[in-house]
A = this chain, B = another copy of it.
């Protein structure tokens, strides 16, 4: 398509430096043997011509493309935007770059999948709210390393890094019960997303094991309007719940606002709302959301470590890594009298039961 401009080649540099192409190649290859004299000549010539060996051509030589596919449903979601940013920064240190694939909920693997092949990505990081297992499996068939970020399938062979969804859900239930709430509700995201499944399962499991009734329930699809509708349904019920656990922070923020503006409720006073993620916005004074944290930094670090060992071929067994979080106590939910610790940076954490 594009009548590409003639790029500067190693040959051009070699000519200018008065050496062979191999000499140029070696200069740009770490640990290759070149004399200082040659190296300097090459570097100088390269500087003049502004030459840099082409990664894309190098790819043909089985050294990897240094391109990591990053698939997300929506980047609009601040949580995933942060994930992209963190992963990108960390990967940059080893010369890897993220190639963006917005799946937009379309988990039809084929188009994206063939793109991944076309670009010869070294690996794929799947950070999607929806259960995109087909894509993950297809990639594994191709021996393209895959890491699922923030979603997992325990039955799958695909390696994953996720927050403590089940444990967090349990902890939130314990927190609300300890806070004296009895009419609980769960505001769901997408039913079959692993995130939703695990968090809800944890929440319900606590209630079940304490002989408490199942919570009320409504579904919000991870969108603002969806969450708002679900909130109306919950708060409009005959038996209005006195505490709502929202599947994630974004959902919780929508929930809080509807509770305030349409039901005249004040979170933390006459209704308790708890989220999951601890995104930046949750800390804003307007919300001050009580939430279970997902330690993004640590999750990103672990994902990168695993990625590298997969790229090196060191690691083959699939791992399902769970990075623990904490219940961050703020003002959007009535807090139990006991079990709150204050950390150095002023963060309050509830370590009551589990």
Contact A88 B63 (CB under 8 A): no
State which of A112-120, A171-179, A197-205, A336-344 sits at the interface with chain B.
A112-120
Contact B261 A285 (CB under 8 A): yes
Q: Shortest distance in angstroms between A26's beta carbon and chain B's nearest beta carbon?
A: 17
Selected from B1, B51, B64, B75, the residue in CB contact (under 8 A) with A63 is: B1
Contact A102 B122 (CB under 8 A): no
Residues from chain B with a CB closer than 8 A to the CB of A48 are none
Q: Shortest distance in angstroms between A201's beta carbon and chain B's nearest beta carbon?
A: 30
State which of A53-61, A162-170, A232-240 sits at the interface with chain B.
A53-61
Contact B50 A117 (CB under 8 A): yes
Write the A266-286 contact mask toward B (1 if CB under 8 angstroms, else 0).
000000000000001100111
A89 at the interface (CB under 8 A from B): yes
The complex is assembled from copies of this chain, and their number is: 2
A137 at the interface (CB under 8 A from B): no
Q: Shortest distance in angstroms between A222's beta carbon and chain B's nearest beta carbon?
A: 14
Given the interface contacts A97-B119, A120-B7, A143-B5, does A102 sit within 8 Å of B75 by beta carbon? no
Write the A103-134 contact mask toward B (1 if CB under 8 angstroms, else 0).
01000000000110111101000000000000
Selected from B60, B78, B97, B102, the residue in CB contact (under 8 A) with A89 is: B102
Closest to A30 in B: B1
Given the interface contacts A257-B286, A258-B285, does A104 sit within 8 Å of B117 by beta carbon? no
Contact B89 A85 (CB under 8 A): no
A100 at the interface (CB under 8 A from B): yes
Number of residues of chain A lying within 8 A (CB) of chain B:
69
Residues from chain B with a CB closer than 8 A to the CB of A85 are 74-76, 102
Contact B286 A63 (CB under 8 A): no
Write the A246-260 contact mask toward B (1 if CB under 8 angstroms, else 0).
000000010011101
A136 at the interface (CB under 8 A from B): no
> Which residue, of A2, A62, A98, has the highest number of chain B Cβ atoms within 10 A?
A2
Residues from chain B with a CB closer than 8 A to the CB of A3 are 62, 312-313
Distance A2 CA – B98 CA, assembled complex (angstroms): 17
Q: Shortest distance in angstroms between A338's beta carbon and chain B's nearest beta carbon?
A: 28
Closest to A312 in B: B2
Contact A312 B60 (CB under 8 A): no
A21 at the interface (CB under 8 A from B): no
Given the interface contacts A7-B120, A62-B4, A64-B2, does A52 sit within 8 Å of B114 by beta carbon? yes
A25 at the interface (CB under 8 A from B): no
Contact A82 B88 (CB under 8 A): no
Given the interface contacts A4-B62, A285-B258, does A52 sit within 8 Å of B102 by beta carbon? no
Contact A280 B76 (CB under 8 A): yes
Residues from chain B with a CB closer than 8 A to the CB of A98 are 99-100
Contact B99 A97 (CB under 8 A): yes
Q: Sample 24 A-B pairs with CB under 8 A, ordered by A number.
A: A2-B311, A2-B313, A4-B64, A54-B59, A54-B60, A55-B118, A55-B120, A75-B81, A75-B82, A75-B88, A81-B81, A85-B102, A88-B100, A88-B102, A97-B100, A97-B119, A98-B99, A99-B100, A224-B280, A224-B284, A253-B284, A258-B285, A286-B286, A286-B287
